[in-house]
Amino acid sequence: MKIVIVGAGRIAWHLGKRLKSKGLPVAQIISRTGVQAEALAEMLHASWADSVDDLVSDADWIIIAVRDDAIQAVASALSPFVQNSLVTHTSGGTAGALLAPYFKRFGVFYPLQSFSMEHTPVWSKIPFCVDAQSEEDVLFLKKIAKTIGNLVYRVNDEQRALLHVAAVFANNFANRCFAIAEKILEDKDLPFELLHPLMEETLAKALQDSPARMQTGPAMRGDLDTVHKHLDLLSENPEWQEIYREISENINPDLAV
Per-residue pLDDT of the chain (257 residues; tens, 9 = 90+): 999 999 999 999 999 999 999 999 999 999 998 899 999 999 999 999 999 999 998 999 999 999 999 999 999 999 999 999 999 999 999 999 999 999 999 999 999 998 988 889 999 999 999 999 999 999 999 999 999 999 999 999 999 999 999 999 999 999 999 999 999 999 999 999 999 999 999 999 999 999 999 999 999 999 999 999 999 999 999 999 999 999 999 999 998 87
The total of other beta-carbon atoms located within 10 Å of residue 206's CB is 16
Q: Are 106 and 99 in contact (CB under 8 A)?
A: yes
Which pTM does this prediction carry?
Answer: 0.89
Q: Are 21 and 44 in contact (CB under 8 A)?
A: no
The reply to whether 217 and 144 lie within a common domain is no
d(CA 93, CA 100): 16
Tally of domains within the chain: 2
d(CA 127, CA 149): 8
The reply to whether 94 and 212 lie within a common domain is no
In a domain, 101, yes or no: yes
- Which positions ≥6 away from 6 have C-beta within 8 Å? 30, 31, 52, 62, 63, 64, 65, 66, 74, 78
For residue 34, the enclosing domain spans 3-155
d(CA 50, CA 30): 5
The reply to whether 176 and 247 lie within a common domain is yes
The reply to whether 112 and 7 lie within a common domain is yes
The reply to whether 106 and 43 lie within a common domain is yes
